[in-house]
């Protein structure tokens, strides 16, 4: 991708020294039956200015409702939320003028050129025609789309369309950028390009809130993550801390040259070390929160049983296993 000067951003203070988003007891109940459907219950959350923050959760967990309330599209049932210093219920216009939103669906105007999609957005936010055109051309150059300025949006690839949508959201220099599944439906190379663009925005001081079904994406980009399930906040911390404190287990896999049953029996007899053990013929998989020395023990037991090791691997806790431990279900893209 073309290298260009960083995109100009609103001046922001370093991450952690000021608040970009704050919620207190934020709640949403949708009408359904006698009691209604509780989509979000008592969310208390703070996102620092200049922070790259991820919001994770299974389908139906409440993350889309959360984003909807923070971007003024969904009216809260209770509690309060502030974005860029403005309360979403009392001053939705003030919030909208300070946020950029990139939705999962392609919302580009197919009747307009790429350049016009950006300039019209700038004009909508009060920029003069020359200023809007200048800003649009800067963004297209930064996102390696200058040669697409006169193209209609239906002529773009999926990755190019995503880049245009991000550029359009940045036209008015928003204080907070919301990205909803920004790499959904794009090819691996386009995904890598988008990662670089989004990462450079954060390095330039942009506050970013990301929702994604790709846990590798969340782990690579976000400095902190909040996991929501059944409308409640389960954890909010760095990816490393979530993996370390969630009780996620290390997976040790050993494949022998014959049935691994005797080794599994030996592992089950280890006192005080509960393990989750799967045996599939010669393959043995052990999930444990106490992996120290266990692989060596498995190899010794295999040798004692007259078995030869064909393969062995240790997989440390991942964000995927942490999510499984927290919610009881896999995080599926």
Q: How far is 290 from 181, CA to CA, in rounded Å? A: 35
Q: Collapse the DSSP code of 255 into the 3-class scheme (helix H, G, I; strand E, B; otherwise coil) and give the result.
A: strand
| Paired tokens of 63 | 């993350």
Give me the pLDDT at residue 329, please: 67
What would the CATH number be for the domain defined by 249-316?
3.30.70.100
Give residue 274's pLDDT band: very low, low, confident or very high (50, 70, 90).
low
Residue 115 CA to its chain's centroid (Å): 29
Which stretches of the chain are assigned E, i.e. beta strand?
19-30, 37-48, 52-56, 78-83, 86-87, 99-102, 176-180, 207-211, 224-229, 232-237, 250-256, 276-280, 283-288, 309-315
Task: Find the mean pLDDT for residues 39-46.
Answer: 95
162 touches 49 (CB < 8 A): no
> Is the whole model's pTM more than 0.85, yes or no?
no
- Domain borders along the chain are 19-244, 249-316
Kindly report the CATH number that applies to the domain delimited by 19-244: 3.40.50.300
Q: Is the pLDDT of residue 1 over 50?
A: no
pLDDT tier at 4, thresholds 50, 70, 90 = very low
As a whole number, the mean pLDDT across the chain is 89
Cα 257 to Cα 121, 266, 267, 298, 310: the distances in Å are 65, 17, 18, 14, 6
Task: Tell me the Cα Rg of the chain.
Answer: 24
- Joined together, the tokens standing for residue 80 give 């309060």
pLDDT one-digit tens code per residue, 15-34: 444 899 999 999 999 998 78
- Read off the pLDDT of residues 51-62 as tens digits, 9 standing for 90 and up: 999 999 888 889
Is residue 257 predicted with pLDDT exceeding 60? yes
Looking at residues 292-310, what average pLDDT do you find? 93
For residue 3, what pLDDT is reported? 39
In the predicted structure, residue 14 carries a pLDDT above the cut 90: no
Asked whether residue 333 carries a pLDDT value surpassing 60, the answer given is: no
Distances (CA, A) of 39 to 65, 83, 94: 7, 20, 25
Tens digit of pLDDT for each residue in 106-151?
999 999 999 999 999 999 999 999 999 999 999 999 999 999 999 9
Which class for 248: exposed (0-12), middle (13-18), buried (19 or more C-beta within 10 A)? buried
pLDDT the model gives residue 331: 63
Q: Which residue has the tokens 């909803």?
A: 180
Q: Is 324 helix (H, G, I), strand (E, B) or coil?
A: helix
Q: Look at residue 42 in the predicted model and tell me its pLDDT.
A: 94
Rounded Cα distance between 89 and 82, Å, is: 9
pLDDT of residue 123: 96
Residue 74 pLDDT = 95
How would residue 168 be classed by pLDDT, with cut points 50, 70 and 90? very high
pLDDT > 90 fraction of the chain, expressed in percent and rounded = 67
Look up residue 304 and give its two tokens. Answer: 């004692």
Q: Is the pLDDT of residue 244 over 90?
A: no
- Tell me what pLDDT residue 243 has: 87
């Amino acid at each position: 991708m073309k290298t260009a000067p960083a995109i100009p951003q609103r001046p922001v203070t370093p991450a952690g020294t000021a608040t970009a988003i704050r919620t207190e007891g934020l709640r949403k109940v949708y009408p359904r039956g006698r009691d209604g459907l509780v989509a979000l219950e008592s969310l208390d959350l703070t996102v620092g200015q200049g922070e790259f923050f991820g919001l994770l959760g299974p389908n139906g967990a409440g993350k889309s409702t959360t984003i909807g309330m923070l971007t003024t599209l969904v009216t809260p049932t209770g509690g309060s939320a502030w974005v860029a210093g403005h309360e979403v219920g009392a001053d939705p216009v003030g919030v909208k003028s300070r946020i950029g939103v990139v939705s999962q669906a392609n919302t580009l105007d197919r009747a307009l050129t790429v350049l016009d999609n950006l300039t019209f957005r700038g004009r909508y936010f009060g920029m003069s025609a020359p200023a809007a055109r200048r800003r649009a051309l800067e963004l297209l150059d930064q996102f390696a789309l200058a040669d697409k300025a006169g193209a209609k949006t239906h002529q773009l690839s999926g990755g190019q369309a995503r880049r245009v949508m991000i550029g359009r959201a940045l036209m008015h220099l928003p204080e907070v950028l919301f990205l909803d599944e920004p790499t959904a439906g794009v090819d691996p190379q386009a995904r890598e390009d988008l990662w670089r663009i989004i990462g450079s925005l954060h390095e330039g001081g942009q506050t970013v809130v990301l929702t994604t079904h790709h846990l590798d994406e969340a782990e690579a980009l976000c400095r902190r993550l909040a996991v929501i399930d059944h409308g409640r906040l389960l954890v909010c911390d760095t990816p490393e801390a979530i993996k370390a404190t969630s009780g996620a287990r290390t997976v040790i896999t050993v494949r022998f040259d014959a049935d691994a049953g005797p080794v599994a029996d030996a592992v089950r007899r280890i006192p005080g070390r509960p393990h989750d053990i799967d045996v599939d013929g010669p393959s043995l998989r052990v999930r444990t929160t106490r992996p120290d020395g266990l692989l060596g023990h498995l190899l010794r037991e295999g040798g004692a049983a007259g078995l030869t090791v064909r393969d062995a691997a240790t997989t440390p806790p991942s964000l995927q296993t942490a999510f499984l431990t927290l919610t009881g279900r896999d995080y599926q893209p």
